[in-house]
């Protein structure tokens, strides 16, 4: 399976010209890599413009969020059907930076279902705020997965990717990066949780790690944590660093 490297641009860059330049530079590297699927998730407003530049299948666009309905009086929201109609394949759902704005597990679940129905591949983000020595965080993550997947059939799981993003390791306020062992432990937990929910023949649901990934640590996460790819925030906004991450991923067996 190709390594899946997703760049979450968050609410950057400030203007469309810069967004274009970054995307073109990333695409140039991504287009040369056979073993990596690159996805760039820009702010919604840049999607239409960048879509014109997204020729070829090795570097595609995704969205950072979507609403639970396909139309209606939801001022300021963007529907999964709209994203699909723009030719997008991926949508990030349940990112910790959205959960902190009030997105509950119940809303995340509705968004997961709406995204799948619209034909998008949902990148479901889960992760604990802090770790305790009793392993409560494991229950917390398993519960997030269970609640996000209520009503999602085994067949629909083929449109789901799970991204483990420990909140304490995500973004510029991160306390410290996770270790490859931290990520490995949760990779196993995700697999066990899916097997518990769907049975042992659950199939392959790709698992990503995200949280302070950079050009130095990316290869280690891919090689040692048994993940299928990475969700990259800040480092995806620097085309040179993101390019290095993509090239490293290409080399990991």
Residue nearest to ligand PEP (CB): 233
Active-site choice (128, 165, 185, 244) = 165
Total residues contacting ligand PEP (rule CB under 6 A)?
15
Cis peptide bond N-terminal to 13, omega within 30: yes
- In the complex with ligand PEP, the residue whose CB is nearer, 81 or 121, is 121
Q: Write the CB contacts of 27 (distance below 8 Å, at least 6 apart in sequence).
A: 38, 53, 54, 56, 59
Contacts of ligand PEP in 104-133 (CB under 6 A): none
Out of 232, 239, 245, 249, point to the residue binding ligand PEP (CB under 6 A).
232
Strand partners, 133: none
Residues 5-24 that bind ligand PEP (CB under 6 A): 8, 10
For residues 28 and 243, give the distance between their C-alpha atoms in angstroms, rounded to a whole number.
9
Catalytic site residue 165?
A: yes
CB 40 within 8 A of CB 9: yes
Angstrom distance (rounded) from CA 46 to CA 64:
12
Q: Binder to ligand PEP among 3, 39, 82, 165 (CB under 6 A)?
A: 165
Closest CA to 252 of 28, 56, 5, 57: 5
Q: Residue 231, interface with ligand PEP (CB under 6 A)? A: yes
Task: Out of 233, 241, 244, 245, point to the residue binding ligand PEP (CB under 6 A).
Answer: 233
Closest CB 85 distance from ligand PEP, rounded Å:
25
The alpha carbon of residue 168 and the mean position of all alpha carbons in its chain are separated, in whole angstroms, by: 17
- Both tokens of 189, joined, read 């937990």
* 244 tagged catalytic: no
Please give the residue ranges that form the binding site for ligand PEP (CB under 6 A).
8, 10, 165, 170-171, 174, 210-213, 231-235
Q: Report the catalytic residues.
A: 95, 165
């Amino acid at each position: 399976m190709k390594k899946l490297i997703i760049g979450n641009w968050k609410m950057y860059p400030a203007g469309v010209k810069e967004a274009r330049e970054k995307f073109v530079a990333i695409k140039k590297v991504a287009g040369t890599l056979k073993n990596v699927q690159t996805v760039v998730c820009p702010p919604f407003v840049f999607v239409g413009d960048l879509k014109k530049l997204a020729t070829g299948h090795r570097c595609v666009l995704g969205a950072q969020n979507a609403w639970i309905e396909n139309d209606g009086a939801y001022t300021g929201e963007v529907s999964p059907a709209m994203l699909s109609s723009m030719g997008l394949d991926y949508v990030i759902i349940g990112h910790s930076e959205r959960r902190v704005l009030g997105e509950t597990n119940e809303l995340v679940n509705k968004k997961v279902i709406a995204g799948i129905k619209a034909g998008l591949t949902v990148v479901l983000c889960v992760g604990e705020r802090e770790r305790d020595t009793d392993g409560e965080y494991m229950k917390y993550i398993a519960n997030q997965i269970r609640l996000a997947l209520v009503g999602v059939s085994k067949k629909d799981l083929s449109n789901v990717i799970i991204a483990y993003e420990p909140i304490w390791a995500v973004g510029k306020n991160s306390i410290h990066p996770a270790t490859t062992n931290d990520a490995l432990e949760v990779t196993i937990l995700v697999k066990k949780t899916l097997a518990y929910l769907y049975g042992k023949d659950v199939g392959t649901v790709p698992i990503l790690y995200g949280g302070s990934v950079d050009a130095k640590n990316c290869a280690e996460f891919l090689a040692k944590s048994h993940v299928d790819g990475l969700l990259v925030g800040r480092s995806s906004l620097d085309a040179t660093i993101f390019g290095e991450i993509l090239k490293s991923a290409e080399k990991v067996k």
